[in-house]
Amino acid sequence: MLKSARGALFTAIVIVVSACSGPAATSAPASVPASAAPSTPAASAGSAAPVTGGLLDKVLKAGKLVVSTDPKYPPQSEQLPDGSYQGFDIDVATEIAKRLGVRVEFTTPDWSAITAGSWAGRWDMSVGSMTITPDRKKVLDFSPPYYYTPAQMTASKASGITTLEGLAGKTVCSGESTTYDQWLKGTLDFGTGQPLAKPPAGITAVTLPTDTDCPDQWKAGRNDFQGWLSSSTTVNQAIAAKLPLITVGDPVFFEPLAVAVDKSGPPDSDFVARLTDIVNAMHTDGTLTAFSMHWFRKDLTMAAGG
């Protein structure tokens, strides 16, 4: 993808993201157990009585919030050998539960099952860095975005490729049912009406169950795909872990990431209203910025022009 094809949109977003210095990182928890109890009462925001039989009523009566997330997506989310979880998304979900006055419990279904909706009550919401798209909005309701990330292309060191254009005609890996796979296949739509940059010509897209499976396969010696597309935060984590890859080119798009709720579950209008209040409050009081600084060493909580 030629740099000029991304145009002013990318330039504007890069300027905003790089300019967001944020406050100094606070002491965020390094990990949380699979079920963590709240330390404070429910937040006053959205304090109207919940609708009987609705999702908010269900969560408050159960005293717990069941959250789906990805067990292999550091630094956003990661399940540790002892069964506990850590990461930016984990801290966000734990804080939401805390402000609802309930404990949090995590579950790790396949990403394709989360994005498809029809959860059958197996979990209450998803905090898994999900991008808001028109197709997903058909089956899911969303909070306001809680952060934004660039999508970064990489190449395996074994491929010898050092530029984005060098991936033309090659095979690129991404996680199943992700916006990265959609972009590679030319089907990604944010519903803004603005055209997205296109991938290098002739790319073949392949998927693995989750994003980090791609560089893990390179480390294991698999070289039948030459590129990997994922969040820049996850790419940076893989590079820090000394996986055999390099970044190529500038970010190819930027995405708004939000908490998702299943439309086919219990009525969720009051839950989404409370969730919206909580996410907005976490932006206002600096909680999301502090989590971002802790896990990413930069503030990714602001959109272009935010």
DSSP code, position 1: -
Q: What is the mean pLDDT of the chain?
A: 86
Q: At what angle do helices 269-284 and 287-296 cross, to 10 degrees?
A: 70
pLDDT tens column, 100-157 = 999 999 999 999 999 999 999 999 999 999 999 999 999 999 999 999 999 999 999 9
Placement of tokens 């740099």 in the chain: 3
Distance of CA 190 to the CA centre of its chain: 15
- Strand (E) positions, the chain? 35-36, 64-68, 72-73, 77-79, 85-86, 103-107, 125-131, 140-142, 147-156, 171-175, 204-208, 227-231, 245-247, 253-262
- On the question of pLDDT at 15 being above 80, the answer is no
Fold agreement (3-7+149-254, 13-147+256-296): yes
- The backbone torsions φ and ψ at residue 252, rounded to the nearest 5 degrees and listed phi first, read -95, -20
CATH of region 13-147+256-296: 3.40.190.10
Instruction: Write down the pLDDT at residue 226.
Output: 98
Q: Cis peptide before 75, with omega less than 30 degrees from 0?
A: yes
pLDDT above 70 coverage of the chain, percent: 83
Which of the four pLDDT bands, split at 50, 70 and 90, describes residue 77? very high
Distance of CA 138 to the CA centre of its chain: 19
- The backbone torsions φ and ψ at residue 69, rounded to the nearest 5 degrees and listed phi first, read -155, 175
Sheet containing strand 72-73, edge to edge, reads 72-73, 77-79, 85-86
pLDDT tens column, 192-213 = 887 889 999 999 999 999 999 9
Buried b (16+ CB within 10 A) or exposed e, 244-264: bbebbbbbbbbbbbbbbbbee
CATH of region 3-7+149-254: 3.40.190.10
Strand 125-131 relative to strand 64-68: parallel, antiparallel, unpaired? parallel
| pTM for the model | 0.79
Buried b (16+ CB within 10 A) or exposed e, 146-178: bbbbbbbbbbbeebebeebebbeebbbbbbbbb
List 79's β-bridge partners, or say none: 85
Domain boundaries, the chain: 3-7+149-254, 13-147+256-296
pLDDT above 90 coverage of the chain, percent: 79
Indicate if the alpha-carbon torsion angle 160, 165, 169, 175 is positive or negative.
Answer: positive
Question: In whole angstroms, how large is the CA radius of gyration of the chain?
Answer: 19
3-state secondary structure 200-264: CCCCEEEEECCCCHHHHHHHCCCCCCCEEEEEHHHHHHHHHCCCCEEECCCCCEEEEEEEEEECC
Instruction: Write down the pLDDT at residue 34.
Output: 52
Q: What DSSP element (H or E) covers 18?
A: helix 3-19
Pairwise CA distance, residues 255 & 9, whole Å: 12
